[in-house]
Amino acid sequence: MKLPSDSHAARRLLRRIRDARRGARAVHHPHPGEAPDGLTLRVASYNVHKCVGRDGRFDPQRIAAVIGEMDADLVAIQEADRRFGRRYGLLDAATLRQESGLHLLQVSDLPDGHGWHGNAILLREGTPLRLHRLALPGAEPRGAVIAELDLPVGRLRVVAAHFGLLRNCRMRQGAAILRNITEGAPMPTLMMGDLNEWRPGRRSALRSLEPFFGPMNEGPASFPTRMPVLSLDRILGWPNGLVHSVEAHDTPLSRVASDHLPLKALLRLDLLDGAAEDAAPRLAGVG
């Protein structure tokens, strides 16, 4: 194909080709209430960049609108708080409830905080049975929230995490999370977050998670929002088959609201009765 000589026209043409390919690959993802072939739960992960968009504007309402677009039942948020100084929450909880029907779990150890090291969890329905704030090893302050939830569809462990910028630190952080998971009761487990790893295969720091979650295939590109090329954000599940239909939520609003696109996925919980308990002996050596 010969591209137009004008550079702006060429870029427009390439964008149209890319969008057409994306549309051809698009799959209809039924709402949980519409799925005829099984019980599903819609989940999402979103690095909100402290609610500062590509335009440099601080706008929590815009973030809430993007979350409302996804119509998720459970969302992991990264960068929900200020990182330095007084780490108060940056989300607009009232607008979030209005736009999405989701509420913030009480994760922070501060009265006006929303997360732990910026990691927050939004939930539509359910009761937290256990919440653990895990400090992750590394050269910079990082953490993960591990929540065991009693949902209308059953029990689910959720790990919300934001890994570091150094590969060695990411390896250690993954190993720390696996140790914590495998010390708990076996149950379906969902891990979501900005894992800051773009390399697939043997060079990937996410190999530290493979003993539990299986092979780390390259996920949808989510960063930067101007032209996503790096798969920094992940939605992982155990047992095999828990997570499917993972894709970036790419809309005009999500392109400007943060420097990351959100990821969304479906969880098939109806297929997992007894799966976690049956696998307990196999997990004894993991971690």
Confidence band (pLDDT; 50, 70, 90) for 108? confident
Mean pLDDT, rounded, for 49-77 = 96
Whether 36 shows a pLDDT value over 90: the answer reads no
Q: Could you give the domains of the chain?
A: 31-283 (3.60.10.10)
Asked whether 102 and 131 are in contact (CB, 8 A), the reply is no
CA distances from 180 to 95, 118, 282 (A): 34, 19, 16
154 or 163: whose pLDDT is higher?
A: 163
Quick one: three-class SS letters along 163-176?
CCCCHHHHHHHHHH
Pairing state between β 154-162 and 142-151: antiparallel
> Which residues on adjacent β-strands are paired with residue 40?
268
Confidence band (pLDDT; 50, 70, 90) for 110? confident
Confidence band (pLDDT; 50, 70, 90) for 109? confident
The model's pLDDT over 120-153, given as tens digits with 9 standing for 90+, comes to: 999 999 999 999 999 999 888 899 999 999 988 8
> Whole-angstrom Cα distance, residue 235 to residue 264?
8
8 or 151: whose pLDDT is higher?
A: 151
> Whole-angstrom Cα distance, residue 145 to residue 179?
14
Query: Considering only CA atoms, which of 214, 159, 128, 135 is closest in space to residue 43?
Result: 159
Tokens of 48: 């909100």
Mean pLDDT, rounded, for 57-79 = 96
Whether 29 shows a pLDDT value over 70: the answer reads no
Average pLDDT, rounded, for the chain: 83
What is the reported pLDDT for 4? 43
Q: What is the pTM for the complete model shown?
A: 0.82
